[in-house]
Every structure is written in C-alpha cells, then in structure tokens.
Amino acid sequence: MSKLVYSLENPDVVKVDVVKNGSVRLLCRWDIHTVEIEIDGESHTEYAYQEEVIWWALPLHEYVERVDGRQGLTVAGLAYIANQSDAILGWAMAAGV
C-alpha cells in the first residue's frame, strides 16, 4: 500500500534510488500538493504526496554502468526511465492500492 509522505522539497514524480543487478529501485510519487504546516506559531510550506517504492527491470545491460564500484544508470538508462515514466507511475499506483 502506498504511503503518505511529507517533504520540504518538491519531489520528482519518478526518482532513481538504487541500481542493482540490472534493475532499478524507483521512488514513485503522485497526488503531489502543498500544505501549510504550523509549529509553535511558525508556518512553512511542505509537499505532501503518495509514494510507492518499486523495482523495475531494465531491458538492456547498456543502461547500467559501474561508477566508483557501484552500479549506476548511463545517460541512455536515464532516458529510458524518463521515457517510461508514465508506465512506471501507472504500475506503481496499481501496486500501491
């Protein structure tokens, strides 16, 4: 089930978190809106949103590279995630029901 998250920063809808064994862990966010939080008479704006964490298999090994001993996404891998963001978000929202 998706969880309600609060953040001081405006979140990316799909954010790469970890790359491992040809898959990527993604933080998927939707229903993003601002809320006013008041603490001790002081007010500030935060972002509230639903979030689901999913693993997404990468179809090509060319999307992954090793940088400083860790796996990361190549430029092509980042482009793939950006191009698939609607499908990824839809899958994450269904998984979060």
Predicted structure pTM score = 0.90
**What's the pLDDT score for residue 97?**
78
**What's the pLDDT score for residue 72?**
96
89 vs 70: CA distance, rounded Å: 26
Q: One digit per residue, pLDDT tens: the chain, 97 residues?
A: 889 999 999 999 999 999 999 999 999 999 999 999 999 999 999 999 999 999 999 999 999 999 899 999 999 999 999 999 999 999 999 998 7
Closest CA to 63 of 28, 25, 23: 23
**What's the pLDDT score for residue 62?**
96
**What's the pLDDT score for residue 16?**
98
